[in-house]
Amino acid sequence: MVVETGQLPSLDKSERNVFPRILIFDLDGTLAKSKQPIDSEVAYLLLEVSRRGCLIVIVSGAGFSQFSKQVVGSLESLATEECLYMMFRNMILLPLNGSEVYLFDGFPARWRRIMSSDFDEMEKQRIYDAFEEVFSKSLYDHPEKVYGQLIEDRGGQVTFSALGQDAPLELKEKFDPDRTKRLAIMKHLKMMLPDFEVRIGGTTSIDITRKGMDKAYGVDLVMRNVVGPEYEWFLPMCLFVGDALYEGGNDESVRRLRIPCHQVETVSDTKVLIRNLLERRLTSGPQSRR
């Protein structure tokens, strides 16, 4: 399904500004800790960004229900309705690594899905079978205690969480900080599922979507509808911020769009970056530290 022209907020080619016109954020590890609500400081900074007339795009491997908890619900508890309206009308949500697109549809806070791309049953079975082989080859050490689902069907994405979807943050952060455990699993999954996208996500996860359905796909869709099919001229006025721009990370695909990217390691890094942007002190320009 393609987003119809005019469904997304439009920007004029003449509207050039030192401040980015489109800011695109990853969620976990960038705007919030893994599966945690965004905090009051991030909420304030996003509000200030929207006051600059900037379109905010948030893209994540999480499903929309998780977006509702981490982003929408958190903002609703921290901001007035007037502020929320200003922010939400200039915000686009891309769950499932860009496989879905949601737009604000008025209060009480309603978000309308305008695009989705769900797996069929045969595709899902192939993915489950691939994980069964991973387990049989001892590429994954099953923990004594699992917190929630190990493998979650999110419609257009299947997500494996090594400790379970609901594992405590402190355990998740210690599980695979250098990503070596998941890289070994991912390598095997890629061999078994060559026609799917397989990427590391979050602190304990591996995300699988259809080939080509990645964050670059979702971001490209937004750019084509907001700016136009030939949006290269607009790239200097955009910035993507994520914590997984490294090889194999689920932010990496955005690089091929040639959008300026900035790698962060923590939510604190993101806060510093946004404050510098607001104060126009990002003197070296958007960059990647890797």
Cα gap 242→267, rounded to integer Å: 10
Residue 142 shares a structural domain with residue 191: yes
111 in the same domain as 219: yes
177 secondary structure, DSSP code: T
Instruction: State pTM to two decimals.
Output: 0.82
Are 145 and 35 found together in one domain? no
Q: What is the pLDDT of residues 78-109, one digit of tens each?
A: 888 888 988 999 999 999 988 899 999 887 66
CATH number for the domain spanning 235: value is 3.40.50.1000
Do the domain assignments include residue 288? no
203 and 134 belong to one structural domain: yes
Cα separation, 205 vs 161, in Å, equals: 4
Q: What is the pLDDT of residues 222-267, one digit of tens each?
A: 999 899 999 999 999 999 999 999 988 889 999 999 999 999 999 9
Residue 269 domain-assigned? yes
Query: Can you give the residue range of the structural domain that contains 228?
Result: 22-116+213-278
Q: Using CA atoms, how far apart are residues 207 and 198, in angstroms rounded to an integer?
A: 6
> Looking at the structure, do residues 166 and 238 belong to the same domain, yes or no?
no
Tokens in use for 100? 């879905």
16 vs 52: which has the higher pLDDT:
52
Contact 190, 209 (CB under 8 A): no
Strands 91-94 and 101-104: antiparallel
What is the model's pLDDT at position 254? 96
SS3 content of the chain, % helix, strand, coil (to 5): 40, 20, 45
Write out the DSSP string of 184-240.
Answer: HHHHHHHHH-TTEEEEEETTTEEEEEETT-SHHHHHHHHHHHHT-S--GGGGGGEEE
pLDDT band at residue 139, thresholds of 50, 70 and 90?
Answer: confident
Point out the domain boundary residue: 158, 190, 210: 210
Cβ atoms of residues 254 and 219 within 8 Å: yes
Please indicate, yes or no, whether residues 94 and 217 belong to a single structural domain of this protein. Answer: yes
Lowest mean pLDDT: which of 14-18, 19-23, 62-66, 111-115? 14-18
What are the φ/ψ torsions at residue 164 (nearest 5 degrees)? 100, 150
Query: Residue 253 burial (CB < 10 Å; 0-12/13-18/19+)?
Result: buried
Task: Report pLDDT for 90.
Answer: 92
Which of 194, 210, 226 is where one domain is finished?
A: 210
Nearest-angstrom CA–CA distance, 162 and 24: 27
Cα–Cα dist 262/116, whole Å: 28
Residue 1 lies in a domain: no
